[in-house]
Amino acid sequence: MVNTGVRVAVIGCGAQGRNHLRAYAKYPDVEIAAVCDTDPDRLAQTAQDFSVPSAFADYRALLDSAPYDLVSICTMPVSHAEMAIAALQLGANVICEKPLAMNLEEGLAIAAAAKQAERFLTVGFNMRYLPAAQTLKRMVADGEIGQPVSSKAWTLATDIPWWGKHYVKRISGGGVLASTAVHILDLALWAAGNPQPVTASASMDRVFPRKRASTAPSAEALAEFDVEDTFSGHIRFADGTWMDLSGGWGCDQPEYSYSFELVGDKATVQFAPLRIVAERDGIPVDITPPSAVVDKTGMHDWPASVAAEIADAVDAVRNERSPLVRIEQALTVQAIVDALYCSAETREEVPITLPALNQLQSRTV
């Protein structure tokens, strides 16, 4: 059976929630039935801006009010598990913003709820939908870089994301790793074919308020900051490949750098800007195809990538298939993040053990 009209709700009316709403509003057969936010002014303004008939301060009231085909969860990670499980149990498919959960235990509970409900849950790793990322993925899949050997990924921000309480561990689950670097981690894993992680090691520190203290929006924010703002990690995979992952907030550099490099035995590819360098008669040569020139802007296509992510989720509902970002892949990211935090705390390399993740998603492509 193929669905046509899609009834959706959005929980969380901040910047990303509004991005979801703008994307949904493009489809005449998508009904934005309800929105939810704990800020009454923001809730009222959002309902007015998008002509949403029902607005709720409590997500439970929203979920109980009517059935939904798809629910967007655009809140801080501390509430992801309870909201996602509740929505799934009431029969909705779910798109949850990153990171999936506060930890792997919560993520597995969400996955179990999705399987029980026979609904999908996808995560907002919208970097996969960037044009440069799509081009890169096709090249790797077509064998143009050969067999992957190693990768390095980094997210180096010049500022601290004060727009949400990403700097409060009990709300965010972690700092620059959990709140920011998960995007590039997922993208690098996906491009490499989602290898199975086996161990992880990491070192972390909090440089704030030695740096960027003057940027804190309030004395409360200054006092609440309790997460890592710089880290470096190393991940080993079952196929013998490895990844170096690093991140920072308040980095001393001219501009934000959010990228990764994948080394193959035939060529090396770098994302944002997209560049492919291969050996030709013993000499490294830039072989980036002319058709990929438009993709070199990479991160500049961020709003369009969110819209593409929503389009994929809506189509997945209509055609009863899995979206591009599968829950087992999001759980792998969560397991790596948990292991990196554990390693930084224990100062030891940490094994990564995952359940049979391929059995957790109820729908397949």
User: What does the alpha-carbon distance between residue 55 and residue 345 come to, in Å, rounded to a whole number?
Assistant: 42
User: What does the alpha-carbon distance between residue 17 and residue 14 come to, in Å, rounded to a whole number?
Assistant: 5
Select the more confidently predicted residue: 168 or 4.
168
pLDDT at residue 299 in the model = 56
User: What single-letter amino acid sits at 169?
Assistant: K
Question: Residue with structure tokens 């143009």?
Answer: 144
pLDDT in tens, 251-281: 999 998 999 999 999 999 998 788 899 999 9
**Which residue in 77, 184, 179, 76 sits closest to 127, CA to CA?**
184
Backbone phi and psi for residue 178, each to the nearest 5 degrees, phi listed first: -70, -35
pLDDT band at 364 (very low <50, low <70, confident <90, very high): very low
Q: What percent of the chain lies above the pLDDT cut of 90? A: 84
Asked whether residue 245 carries a pLDDT value surpassing 80, the answer given is yes
Residue 329 tokens read as 């892949």
pLDDT in tens, 57-99: 999 999 999 999 999 999 999 999 999 999 999 999 999 999 9
In the predicted model, what is the mean pLDDT of residues 322-344? Answer: 97
Q: List Cβ neighbours of 363 (8 Å cut-off, separation of 6 or more).
A: 118, 119, 120, 316, 320, 321, 322
In whole angstroms, how far apart are CA 323 and each of 8, 315, 320, 329, 365? 16, 8, 9, 11, 8
pLDDT at residue 289 in the model = 76
User: Regarding beta strands 242-248 and 257-264, do their DSSP bridges make them parallel or antiparallel, or are they unpaired?
Assistant: unpaired
pTM of the model: 0.94
pLDDT at residue 213 in the model = 96
Can you list the domains of the chain with their CATH numbers?
6-125 (3.40.50.720), 128-306+335-346 (3.30.360.10)
pLDDT band at 1 (very low <50, low <70, confident <90, very high): very low
How many of the other CB atoms lie within 10 Å of CB of 217?
10
Strand order in the sheet with 70-73: 54-56, 30-36, 6-11, 70-73, 93-96, 121-123
Residue 175 tokens read as 């700092």
pLDDT band at 356 (very low <50, low <70, confident <90, very high): low
pLDDT at residue 171 in the model = 97
Q: What percent of the chain lies above the pLDDT cut of 70? A: 93
pLDDT in tens, 112-154: 999 999 999 999 999 999 988 988 899 899 998 999 999 999 9
User: What single-letter amino acid sits at 269?
Assistant: V
**Which residue in 364, 163, 128 sits closest to 249, CA to CA?**
163
Residue 211 tokens read as 């740096």
